[in-house]
């Protein structure tokens, strides 16, 4: 007998009216996969970009119907025979990889066991579900790409959004001075998260400041390597989360130039987040230590997911949007 579950799916691409919650077949885990009963999931821009047919990796997606959602927290209910290190009943959280996989906006999601981490009791399902894509993006950017050093000055452009709120906190924990760029309504939030300075983008342009920053972390794609160049110090790094042909080519040219003329140059980078459990464990350790927290913008039920998508597409969410499944 095929078991059913509720899921948010699309059968075609569209700006609105294509997302529906319906009964679908409950997935079965493969040899290296676990099946998780989802308690909470979080929404990322790639969810509605996929809905609209704009996601850059859409050619790698599974065929319609597509169950959306990549970030989740819940409980393992089934495991493939090759899975080790977990047990049925374990509380876990994680994210699907960038290419070809979704499925978290459902009562159950299957995922490779190598992409999840154990959720500690001291972290709620909502806070854990909020973290993977946005938190990993900033953690990997600041540790592996920017290699932030204590005393450096980091500018976060789009600081009050899902990725930005983690960036402020992680950079502060690494000993950096943080400059947050956001609208005036979000200044207090950014200061509360640890920003040393807040720039109101409506009244001030950070790009006009000369040699002010060691890192410009552009999480919203409103700047560019060219626009930010003068604001970077010698050896400064421009890093964006927004993939495009232009950002990819600029990052590739910067990497190649670094092989020819290493050291002291201003560089450009594009971050592509990876579901690394070690980084998830590092972030939950920070949460338990009180140096990192998830910021929840709003909460929706699975049946209210269309309103959640509308909220995300305004680009006005403060932190993360949560879908409570159970």
Given this model, what pLDDT does residue 210 score? Answer: 98
Instruction: Determine contact, residues 36/28, Cβ cutoff 8 Å.
Output: no
Q: Which two tokens stand for residue 59?
A: 């050619």
Model confidence at 57, pLDDT cuts 50, 70, 90, reads confident
Per-residue pLDDT reduced to its tens digit, 123-149: 999 999 999 999 999 999 999 999 999
Whether residue 277 has pLDDT greater than 80: yes
Model confidence at 259, pLDDT cuts 50, 70, 90, reads low
Q: What is the mean pLDDT of residues 294-314?
A: 97
- 288 within a domain of the structure (yes/no): no
- 282 within a domain of the structure (yes/no): no
Given this model, what pLDDT does residue 212 score? Answer: 98
Q: What is the mean pLDDT of residues 31-35?
A: 98
| Residues 116 and 220 occupy one common structural domain | no
| Residues 159 and 174 occupy one common structural domain | yes
- 47 within a domain of the structure (yes/no): yes
Q: What is the mean pLDDT of residues 15-38?
A: 96
Q: Which of 122, 157, 116 is nearest to 293 (CA)?
A: 122
**Residue spans of beta strands (DSSP E) within the chain:** 4-10, 19-25, 33-43, 66-67, 71-79, 91-95, 108-112, 116-118, 153-157, 177-182, 197-200, 213-218, 232-240, 267-270, 296-301, 320-324
- 280 within a domain of the structure (yes/no): no
* Cβ-based neighbours of 124, under 8 Å, separated by 6 or more: none
How far apart, in whole angstroms, are the C-alpha atoms of residue 137 and residue 174?
16
| Residues 145 and 264 occupy one common structural domain | yes
Kindly state the percentage of the chain with pLDDT values over 90.
86
- 255 within a domain of the structure (yes/no): yes
| Residues 152 and 31 occupy one common structural domain | no
Q: Could you say which of 232, 255, 270 is where a domain stops?
A: 270
Q: Which two tokens stand for residue 305?
A: 């997911």
Per-residue pLDDT reduced to its tens digit, 64-77: 999 999 999 999 99
| Residue owning tokens 């003068």 | 230
Q: Which two tokens stand for residue 79?
A: 């495991």
**Strand 66-67 to strand 4-10: parallel, antiparallel, or no bridges (unpaired)?**
antiparallel
| Residues 104 and 44 occupy one common structural domain | yes
| Residues 179 and 144 occupy one common structural domain | yes
How far apart, in whole angstroms, are the C-alpha atoms of residue 322 and residue 298?
6
Given this model, what pLDDT does residue 261 score? Answer: 67
| Residues 317 and 241 occupy one common structural domain | no
- Give the chain's mean pLDDT: 94
Report the number of distinct structural domains present in the chain. 2
Given this model, what pLDDT does residue 279 score? Answer: 98
Whether residue 230 has pLDDT greater than 90: yes
Whether residue 245 has pLDDT greater than 80: no
Kindly report the CATH number assigned to the domain that includes residue 231: 3.40.50.720
Whether residue 301 has pLDDT greater than 90: yes
- 217 within a domain of the structure (yes/no): yes
Whether residue 93 has pLDDT greater than 70: yes
| Residues 122 and 201 occupy one common structural domain | no
Q: Which two tokens stand for residue 260?
A: 């020819």
Given this model, what pLDDT does residue 260 score? Answer: 60
| Residues 154 and 54 occupy one common structural domain | no
Per-residue pLDDT reduced to its tens digit, 155-184: 999 999 999 999 999 999 999 999 999 999
Model confidence at 45, pLDDT cuts 50, 70, 90, reads very high
| Residues 213 and 265 occupy one common structural domain | yes
Given this model, what pLDDT does residue 248 score? Answer: 64
Q: What is the mean pLDDT of residues 220-247?
A: 90
| Residues 171 and 202 occupy one common structural domain | yes
How far apart, in whole angstroms, are the C-alpha atoms of residue 284 and residue 286?
5
| Residue owning tokens 């679908």 | 24
Per-residue pLDDT reduced to its tens digit, 94-105: 999 877 689 999
Per-residue pLDDT reduced to its tens digit, 176-203: 999 999 999 999 999 999 999 999 999 9
Domain span at 188: 134-270
Given this model, what pLDDT does residue 322 score? Answer: 98
- 256 within a domain of the structure (yes/no): yes
- 41 within a domain of the structure (yes/no): yes
Given this model, what pLDDT does residue 56 score? Answer: 74
| Residues 254 and 218 occupy one common structural domain | yes
Given this model, what pLDDT does residue 27 score? Answer: 96
Kindly report the CATH number assigned to the domain that includes residue 310: 3.90.180.10
Given this model, what pLDDT does residue 326 score? Answer: 86
Given this model, what pLDDT does residue 262 score? Answer: 67
């Amino acid at each position: 007998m095929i078991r059913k579950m509720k899921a948010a799916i699309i059968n075609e691409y569209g700006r609105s009216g294509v997302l529906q919650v319906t009964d679908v077949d409950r997935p079965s885990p493969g040899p290296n996969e676990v099946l998780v009963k989802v308690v909470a999931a979080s929404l990322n821009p790639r969810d509605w970009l996929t809905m609209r047919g704009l996601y850059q990796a859409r050619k790698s997606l599974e065929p319609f119907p597509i169950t959306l959602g990549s970030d989740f927290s819940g409980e393992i209910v089934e495991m493939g025979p090759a899975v080790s290190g977990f047990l049925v009943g374990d509380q876990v959280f994680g994210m699907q990889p960038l290419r070809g996989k979704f499925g978290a906006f459902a009562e159950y999601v299957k995922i490779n066991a190598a992409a999840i981490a154990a959720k500690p009791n001291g972290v709620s399902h909502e806070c854990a579900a909020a973290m993977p894509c946005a938190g990993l993006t900033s953690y990997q950017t600041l540790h592996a790409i920017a290699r932030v050093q204590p005393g450096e000055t980091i500018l976060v452009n789009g600081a009050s959004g899902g990725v930005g709120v983690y960036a402020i906190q992680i950079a502060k924990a690494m000993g950096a001075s943080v400059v947050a760029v956001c609208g005036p309504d979000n200044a207090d939030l950014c200061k509360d998260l640890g920003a040393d300075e807040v720039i109101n983008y409506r009244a001030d342009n950070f790009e006009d400041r000369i040699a002010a920053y060691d890192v410009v972390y552009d999480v919203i794609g409103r700047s560019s390597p060219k626009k930010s160049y003068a604001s970077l110090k010698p050896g400064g790094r421009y890093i964006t989360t927004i993939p495009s042909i232009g950002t990819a080519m600029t990052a590739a040219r910067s990497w190649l130039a670094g092989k020819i003329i290493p050291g002291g140059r201003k560089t450009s980078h594009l971050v592509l987040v990876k579901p690394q459990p070690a980084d998830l464990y590092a972030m939950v350790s920070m949460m338990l230590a009180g140096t990192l927290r998830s910021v929840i913008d709003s909460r929706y039920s699975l049946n209210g997911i269309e309103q959640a998508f509308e909220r995300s597409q305004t680009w006005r969410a403060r932190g993360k949007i949560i879908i409570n499944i159970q």
